[in-house]
A and B are shown apart, each in its own frame.
Chain A
Amino acid sequence: MNATMRAIPQADLDLFSEASLRDPFGDYRRLRDLGPVVRLRRPDVYAIGRFADVQTALRSSEALISGEGVGFSDAFNAPKGMNVIQSDGELHRRLRGTIVKPLFPAALRDARADLKAMIVARVGSLVGAGWFDAMKGLASFLPVEAISHLVGLPEVGRERMLEWAAAAFNVIGPRQAETDLAALKDAFAFMRGLNEETVRDGSWAGQLFAAARTGRLSMQEAMAAMSAYVIPSLDTTILAKGHLLRNLATHPEQWALLREQPDRITAAVLEGVRHSSVLRWFSRVAVADYAVEDCIVPAGQRVMLLYGCANRDERHYPDPDRFDINRDARDHLAWGTGAHMCAGMHLARLEMEVLLEALVEARVQLTAGEPVVGANSGLYGFTGLPLRIDAA
């Protein structure tokens, strides 16, 4: 070891214990304070949790590759190099270039008015209706009623998308439940069985088959890209909306400010995903020795990049545990950064913006009860959130 290089601290944190999954922020702080990179025992990986180092790592997609898998399990990492998030270089560019088309602002412009009208009606029906579960009644409304139609799967697949998403993000972790493995197997069998006739014409899935027909992608690549629509498009935004609703309901002064200054809705959405990031982490493999400040991760080792931890880094955001819609959180890492940055981020933002617009326009006050926090290995979010929406 070079004399100027520092030994990498080791830690016995179990980020996948149920207690840590339900409330990870104490462990996140310990991890950040231990050093720029920390060797964990379970699983045996190099964890990076400080903002600047996670940001740099995510932008170093040639040194830290995705093609060896971005989870911790063979079950998830197996389709090496054959889906969007687990590919590198030219193949990744080609797959991503095709899947982002319906998810970028030009394509979403027409959908915005429809989504807004739907959520306005939904909010209207909930005002004064007493306590309800905001995860089922409000956060999942647009994903289930609208986004799943845009994806374009036949009915049987549409109904299972939420189950498959939860299973897939659980399976990325070091320990897998049989039920999740079985659900993921079903998901891949279902996706393999899709063809141009079974998906909705003009839908996102439909345009992948169209790309295969015109030779832009091979059929194998189109099928591989399908999981990018089927797995992450519903659950992630549902959970993000749950956090946003709770944060606004439990910070009445922030909610009052937002009602007075609705031009801060964009900022509130970004602060929401910074403060309570849904995606916990993904991993990469170092193709050569990789320096994190004065520590070296040896070639061939797997690094864990912790997004939600980086977004609470006091070295980057003052008073990071505070939810503050006046904060400039545009550089948050909840959607990652670099070549693999969330392809659906514009849609996620749009869904959350129209939700907040609808609530602001409804002139309501929000009251939240204690949420039920889930223990999914990949996603931080609520499985239940009692909420009341009352006329202000």
Chain B
Amino acid sequence: MPVVKVTDRQGTEHEVDASTGRSLMETLRDLDYGVAAICGGMCSCATCHVYVAPDWIERLPPAQSDERELVGELAHCQAASRLSCQIQVTDALAGLRVTVAPEE
């Protein structure tokens, strides 16, 4: 299980075991750091919004058009914004750092 670093909405960083073969959202939702993921990972609700650390943005598979468009409609959208339901966890993600975005 790759270890990822998650900063919650209070600014505390946690080292978290992310399970491969699932989306990052599923790991974050289980931890209750504020990722509600109310649509269940279908790229519909944008309640699993995270900011990816700058040095990791290029290392993730790029967002598809539906994810890019949805993220663009969020009040807290930034260049580093991703929907964690669209990030599949692999061993290559060991060391990934993300911050849970504010609630919309």
Judge: A and B partners, yes or no. yes
Binding-face segment, A22-30, A333-341, A369-377: A333-341
- CA A104 – CA B43 in complex, angstroms? 13
Q: Is B58 part of the contact surface with A, judged by Cβ < 8 Å?
A: no
* Complex interface: chain B residues within 8 A of A338 (CB): 39-40, 42, 44
Main secondary structure of the interface of A (DSSP, over half): helix
A104 close to B40 (CB less than 8 A) = no
A341 close to B104 (CB less than 8 A) = no
Interface size class of A (residues with CB under 8 A): 20 to 34
- CA A386 – CA B9 in complex, angstroms? 42
Q: Is A55 part of the contact surface with B, judged by Cβ < 8 Å?
A: yes
Q: Is B3 part of the contact surface with A, judged by Cβ < 8 Å?
A: no
Q: Is B77 part of the contact surface with A, judged by Cβ < 8 Å?
A: yes
What sequence of 0s and 1s flags, for each residue 25-57 of chain B, a beta carbon within 8 Å of any chain A beta carbon? 000000000001011111111100000000000
* Residues from 306 to 347 in A contacting B, C-beta threshold 8 Å: 330-331, 335, 337-341, 345-346
* Complex interface: chain B residues within 8 A of A93 (CB): 66
* Complex interface: chain A residues within 8 A of B72 (CB): 106
B42 close to A61 (CB less than 8 A) = yes
What sequence of 0s and 1s flags, for each residue 340-380 of chain A, a beta carbon within 8 Å of any chain B beta carbon? 11000110000000000000000000000000000000000
- CA A331 – CA B72 in complex, angstroms? 24
- CA A128 – CA B73 in complex, angstroms? 41
Contact A331 B38, CB 8 Å, known A104-B46, A104-B73: yes
A107 close to B73 (CB less than 8 A) = yes
* Complex interface: chain A residues within 8 A of B45 (CB): 341, 345
B104 close to A97 (CB less than 8 A) = no
* Complex interface: chain A residues within 8 A of B65 (CB): 97
* Complex interface: chain A residues within 8 A of B39 (CB): 59, 337-339, 341
* Complex interface: chain A residues within 8 A of B70 (CB): 97, 100, 104
**Nearest A residue to B44, CB-CB:** A341
B69 close to A330 (CB less than 8 A) = no
A59 close to B40 (CB less than 8 A) = yes
Q: What's the nearest-Cβ distance from chain B to residue A353, in Å?
A: 12
For A105, give its contact among B38, B69, B75 (CB under 8 Å): B75
**Nearest A residue to B73, CB-CB:** A104
- CA A330 – CA B38 in complex, angstroms? 7
Q: What's the nearest-Cβ distance from chain B to residue A121, in Å?
A: 25
Contact A109 B75, CB 8 Å, known A93-B66, A337-B38: yes
Contact A339 B44, CB 8 Å, known A93-B66, A105-B73, A346-B104: yes
Q: Is B94 part of the contact surface with A, judged by Cβ < 8 Å?
A: no
For B77, give its contact among A106, A331, A340 (CB under 8 Å): A106
Q: What's the nearest-Cβ distance from chain A to residue B31, in Å?
A: 14
* Complex interface: chain B residues within 8 A of A100 (CB): 70, 73
A105 close to B66 (CB less than 8 A) = no
Q: What's the nearest-Cβ distance from chain A to residue B71, in Å?
A: 10
* Complex interface: chain B residues within 8 A of A107 (CB): 73
**Nearest B residue to A339, CB-CB:** B42
A106 close to B74 (CB less than 8 A) = yes
A55 close to B40 (CB less than 8 A) = yes
- CA A339 – CA B45 in complex, angstroms? 9
B40 close to A106 (CB less than 8 A) = no
Q: Is A101 part of the contact surface with B, judged by Cβ < 8 Å?
A: yes
- CA A55 – CA B43 in complex, angstroms? 15
B104 close to A105 (CB less than 8 A) = yes
B38 close to A104 (CB less than 8 A) = no
Q: What's the nearest-Cβ distance from chain B to residue A12, in Å?
A: 33
A337 close to B40 (CB less than 8 A) = yes
B74 close to A104 (CB less than 8 A) = yes
Nearest first, the 4 closest Cβ-Cβ pairs linking A and B are: A104-B73, A105-B104, A105-B75, A341-B39
**A-B residue pairs in contact (CB < 8 Å), sample of 15:** A59-B39, A59-B40, A93-B66, A104-B46, A104-B73, A105-B73, A106-B73, A109-B75, A330-B38, A337-B38, A337-B39, A337-B42, A338-B42, A345-B45, A346-B104
